[in-house]
Amino acid sequence: MKKVTVIGAGASGMMAAVAAASAGAEVTLLEHKDRVGKKILSTGNGRCNFTNIHQEPIFYHSEDPLFPWGIIERFNARDTISFFLQLGVYSKNRNGYIYPNSDQASAVLDAFRMELRRLGVNVRTGVHCREILPGKRGFRILTDEVREEPSSSKSGKSGPSSVAESYRADSVVLCAGSKAAPSTGSDGSGYDLAKKLGHRILPVLPALVQLKCDGSFFKQISGVRVNGTVSLFGEGGCLAKDTGEIQLTNYGISGIPVFQVSRYASRALYEGKQVEAVLDFMPDFSEEQMNAFLKARASVRPDKTAEEFLIGLFHKKLSDLWIRLTGIRREKRAGDLTETELAALCSMIKEFRVTVTGTNSYDQAQVCCGGVDTSELDPETLESLYIPGLYFAGEILDVDGMCGGYNLQWAWASGRTAGEHAARD
């Protein structure tokens, strides 16, 4: 029986272990946290949006844009839904976003735990992998393990201690995650293991993360949520854009559309480029339509003051900011606003420009862009082109998806692929 060791018991690691064990391998699953699948519990705001019916290549990003789609096609969203149904997780569809019917992320994790137990997978927690040593007869994995040992003190109390251990395997699947959300176990240690084995790591940067912006006025509008479009500009033009609920914070901008474009900001800032975000707070209107709308609004209630003019249309914190930034006197009658002043307000609404200075840290990022260079892997099996028997899956690779279940779909598909092939003779 072939021995497979999976390093990292997140979404992709648990899937790899289940796939390898289902294919008949003897599987050991190593996790350096005290429990498996911790990150799954925080996905989908605790409800676990575990895949999405709407699948296209553009929803996945990589230095090689075609690489992730080849894996997704071989284990797609419907395969994922069917897989979880076999594990007992009945799903519900919310406009293409797939959740457990119970709306509990813990249901997904519990289903995996039961399946790992059913398949006889040897799950070891508190295990830190120091090195993977390939040899003629497979691999030797050197670890430090946290164990409860009897204390030598007079109190007789036991305490945790670190014990050196090693494992032997015919194949290894490295699923150690990225640097995003390190409290859940993704501390970047997998990159060091991959580098020691000769693999190239593309710059790892926060993605699906909030953006820090220049401007002291952000404290004034902090807490405002508004539907709009975020367009990200860098050298060479528009880098990315997305529409949805924008959240304004005391440091900059957040919300799903900001997350969707954030990887491009991370990359451009890392390369030392200037990045600007343009916020459109009325994306359904053209600039000409917005200007005409403001003129008509002023003519309907000309006695309203400039301070009162936009109440009922936008959050008062926003309208107060725009009045101040345009230099319009707050007490000026709406009917007396000049075309220049109305055009200035229109510009604030349709093209509110802010300079992006950075992203929030890995602690706030949902995933990372960058990672193990996919050009060094077999695109059908995820096996290393350098070291036979070494496979990769999940966030450790240079693949990141959009919000909406795509990163978990990548975890399931890549884990399934790597685990199945690792188990084969």
Q: What's the pLDDT at 379?
A: 98
Distance in angstroms between the alpha carbons of the first and the last residue of the chain: 9
37: exposed, middle or buried (Cβ count in 10 Å: 0-12, 13-18, 19+): buried
Which residues neighbour 132 within 8 Å (Cβ) at sequence distance 6 or greater? 7, 139, 140, 141, 142, 172, 174, 193, 196, 197, 390
Q: What's the pLDDT at 261?
A: 98
Q: What angle do CA 308, 342, 330 make, to 5 degrees?
A: 35
Using the 8-state DSSP alphabet, how is residue 40 labeled?
Answer: G
Q: For residues 127 and 111, give the distance between their C-alpha atoms in angstroms, rounded to a whole number.
A: 23
Contact status, residue 409 vs residue 80, Cβ threshold 8 Å: yes
Q: What's the pLDDT at 173?
A: 98
Which residues neighbour 366 within 8 Å (Cβ) at sequence distance 6 or greater? 180, 181, 207, 208, 209, 259, 403, 407
Rounded to whole angstroms, the maximal C-alpha distance in the chain is 87
**Ranges of the chain with pLDDT below 50:** none
Ordered by where they begin, the domains of the chain are: 3-204+370-423 (3.50.50.60), 210-359 (no CATH)
Q: What's the pLDDT at 216?
A: 96
Q: What's the order of all strands across the beta sheet hosting 122-125?
A: 122-125, 26-31, 3-7, 171-174, 390-392
Q: What's the pLDDT at 405?
A: 97
Which residues neighbour 392 within 8 Å (Cβ) at sequence distance 6 or greater? 173, 174, 175, 194, 372, 377, 382, 384, 414, 418
Q: For residues 394 and 328, give the distance between their C-alpha atoms in angstroms, rounded to a whole number.
A: 53
Q: What's the pLDDT at 11?
A: 98
Q: What's the order of all strands across the beta sheet hosting 138-149?
A: 127-135, 138-149, 159-169
Structure token digits, residue 144: 């430090």
Q: What's the pLDDT at 425?
A: 72
Q: What's the pLDDT at 160?
A: 79
